[in-house]
Amino acid sequence: MTRKRRRLLVLLASLAGLGTATGLALSAFSGSIVFFVTPTDLVAKPPADGRLVRLGGLVQQGSVVHAVVNGRPVVSFRVTDGHDSVPVSFTGILPGLFRQGQGVVVQGRLAPGGTFRAEQVLAKHDSAYMPKSVVAALKKRGLWNPNAGPPPPPATWDTMRIPKQSGG
């Protein structure tokens, strides 16, 4: 086999490898990208049936209710961005840093009744931390301009009441 021919073969094999990789990546992308939404987005434009999304916002003060269903812990709470709020229900163990009035990101699907069924609740940082996506949500709703200074302390976030209460 000549050097040229071998080089061509290696090139073809590499292209095949990269091509497969690209194909796999593209096909997987369409199905498994998880978009980040705010409660307002979710209320205004519910995602196509049962699509996995990440919902970011603050846990609304006084909305957390614990219950035990069939021996399993079920917690329900509302996630708000100060404009709209969405009821969330979650079966499982909440992270130790889950607090009312603090930032939270929940991953899950919107159920037909308008309740967001969370499969995962992310609040795994220390109390001073604000998840990037929560910052984005606050900015998106115009509640906090990062250039204007530090975010309002978590205790006062609760005063960013929801002007328009949505059903659920």
Is there binding between residue 44 and another protein (CB under 8 A)?
A: no
Place of tokens 């006062």: 156
Phi-psi region of 85 (alpha: psi -120 to 50; beta: other; left: phi over 0): beta
Q: Given the rule CB under 8 A, which of 42-50, 77-85, 122-130, 157-165 is the region that contacts another protein?
A: 122-130
116, 76 Cβ separation under 8 angstroms? no
State in angstroms the smallest separation of the CB of 41 from another protein: 10
Is there binding between residue 48 and another protein (CB under 8 A)?
A: no
Q: Given the rule CB under 8 A, which of 5-13, 43-51, 81-89, 157-165 is the region that contacts another protein?
A: 5-13
Q: Given the rule CB under 8 A, which of 23-31, 79-87, 109-117, 160-168 is the region that contacts another protein?
A: 23-31
Is there binding between residue 143 and another protein (CB under 8 A)?
A: no
Provide the β-strand partners of residue 116. 88, 110
Nearer to another protein, 114 or 154 (CB): 154
Is there binding between residue 92 and another protein (CB under 8 A)?
A: yes
Q: Given the rule CB under 8 A, which of 6-14, 79-87, 108-116, 158-166 is the region that contacts another protein?
A: 6-14
d(CA 131, CA 23): 33
DSSP class per residue in 57-109: EEEPTT--EEEEETTEEEEEEEEE-SS-EEEEEEESPPPTT--TTSEEEEEEE
Encode burial over 145-166: b for 16+ CB neighbours within 10 A, e otherwise: eeeeeebeebeebbebebeeeb
Contact residues for another protein, defined by CB under 8 A: 1, 3, 6, 9-10, 13-14, 17-18, 20-21, 24-25, 27-29, 31-36, 52, 54, 66, 68, 71-73, 91-94, 96-97, 107, 124-129, 131-133, 136
